[in-house]
Structure 1
Amino acid sequence: MGAVKSLVIDTPRGPAEVEISDPAGPPVSLLVLGHGAGGGVHAPDLTKVHDVAVAAGVRVALVTQPYRVAGRRAPAPADQLDEAWVHCVRELADGLPLVVGGRSSGARVACRTAGDLGAAGVLCLAFPLHPPGKPDRTRAGELPVDLPTLVVNGDRDPFGVPSPEGLIEVVVRPGATHDLRKDLVGTGAVVSAWLARNGWAG
């Protein structure tokens, strides 16, 4: 791995924190990842994806939303999350092919904003299709069917598992719940192969 740096980006919703990891050689693409509602950017699945992507020649930026920087666990409203995220990603954009993503709530933010940001693809870890026990409240409409999108969900996720549609590819991890902790190596391999297949990794 190459250089790692941290920075603070002032957004309309307060300061966000960003950790950027560069690969050993010239980066092939930029992958920007967001965290879950009550968690952080060092959740096990995000850490595994970070590691395999950097090893494959990807510059990876981990974005901590302003509400988490301020010490709050309850997430900000969706429009505020989206606004802060878009501001950060535009600051980080460097001319490389852009892939946006995250886990759970962070995946939803990435999906909702991918089009406006001109992203080449979207990576969703544990996309929360619906609140637990409420399949009628589906969020499937947030997934971008017209962009290469990888959804990695566990088959025991109480938030449900999306269905493939358009350019959405869904990989179901056996025995995994919403935290995707089971077989992190396998999850990393799925993501690495998807990045390579689309030309975003070396």
Structure 2
Amino acid sequence: MVPGQDGRVTSTEKIRTEQVATETGEARVHWYPARRPRLVLAASHGAGGGIEARDLRALAAALPEHGVSVALVEQPWRVAGKKVAPAPRTLDTGWRGVWPALAAPGLPVVAGGRSAGARVACRTAAGLGAAGVLALSFPLHPPGRPEKSRAPELLGAGLPTLVVQGGNDPFGRPAEFPAGDHELVEIPYGDHGFALPKRAELGEPEAMRLLTDAVTRWALSLLPG
């Protein structure tokens, strides 16, 4: 079963869960395979939530029909039931430990994640041989602390990078992002979790469609020919 873009669950084929041993504990990969895959999008969650995030659910529902298999990764600390994420170095170690399983299908792999997971992807993708980086709700700075910029992580990714950011994200609104080689797509009115206020001129299904369309277009542009 796979959650749809509107949060409902619909049926699909061959979804499987894989346990992966890493130096920091067991990780869990939820595979949503394309029928004729050309690319893998691997995405992990943030420090305050899991793979049930609305954007990750939407990607898992939408991308396989476009030839992109989606692998949603639960980091070892989350699998172990811990409430607080470990230090960045430990997060990076866990992600690197999962990578061989993500690359096992022999396809190009995009390293992605939301919030803290986006930071992990930016820090590690080039060294892992990723095809690109997808940064969902990149936490450019702590709320109200723009001087604590994490822009060097994003700008140092060294690979084709797509940032998808909510227009009202307190961790960094789109206008705050520095110029760079990355592409940035705004989800109007969205907060850090892409939730929308009642005054928004679009609903959640439209917002998630905007997100998945942008990610699909960008991901497929990474493929040769």
TM superposition score normalised by structure 2? 0.84
Separation in structure 1 between the aligned mates of residue 80 and residue 157 of structure 2, nearest angstrom: 34
Q: 2:30 aligns with which of 9, 13, 19?
A: 19
**Percent identity between the two aligned chains:** 44
Do the aligned residues in 1 keep the contact of 2:112 with 2:121 (CA within 8 Å)? yes
Do the aligned residues in 1 keep the contact of 2:125 with 2:157 (CA within 8 Å)? no
Q: Could you tell me which runs of 5 or more consecutive residues in structure 1 were left unpaired when the two chains were aligned.
A: none
The corresponding residue for 2:8 is none
The corresponding residue for 1:47 is 57
Do the aligned residues in 1 keep the contact of 2:15 with 2:30 (CA within 8 Å)? yes
Query: RCO greater where, 1 or 2, for CA within 8 Å and sep 6 or more?
Result: 1
The corresponding residue for 2:94 is 84
The corresponding residue for 1:154 is 166
Q: Which has the larger radius of gyration?
A: 2
- The Cα offsets for residues 34-55 of structure 1, whole Å up to 9 and x where unpaired, read as 0010201121011112222212
RMSD (CA atoms) = 1.6
Do the aligned residues in 1 keep the contact of 2:59 with 2:70 (CA within 8 Å)? no
Q: Which runs of 4+ in 1 moved over 4 A?
A: none
How big is the shift at 1:199?
A: 2.4
The corresponding residue for 1:116 is 127
Separation in structure 2 between the aligned mates of residue 9 and residue 20 of structure 1, nearest angstrom: 13
Q: Which amino acid aligns with 1:90?
A: P
Separation in structure 2 between the aligned mates of residue 142 and residue 181 of structure 1, nearest angstrom: 25
TM superposition score normalised by structure 1? 0.93
Q: 1:59 aligns with which of 63, 66, 69?
A: 69
- The Cα offsets for residues 132-190 of structure 1, whole Å up to 9 and x where unpaired, read as 01001100111145311000001100001423402x11112211111113411111111
Separation in structure 2 between the aligned mates of residue 98 and residue 15 of structure 1, nearest angstrom: 21
How big is the shift at 1:82?
A: 0.3
Q: 1:175 aligns with which of 169, 174, 189?
A: 189
Q: 1:191 aligns with which of 206, 209, 215?
A: 215
Give the 3 Å change call, closer, same or farther, for CA 45–190 of structure 1 in structure 2.
same
1:165 matches 2:176: no
Q: Could you tell me which runs of 5 or more consecutive residues in structure 2 were left unpaired when the two chains were aligned.
A: 1-11, 197-206
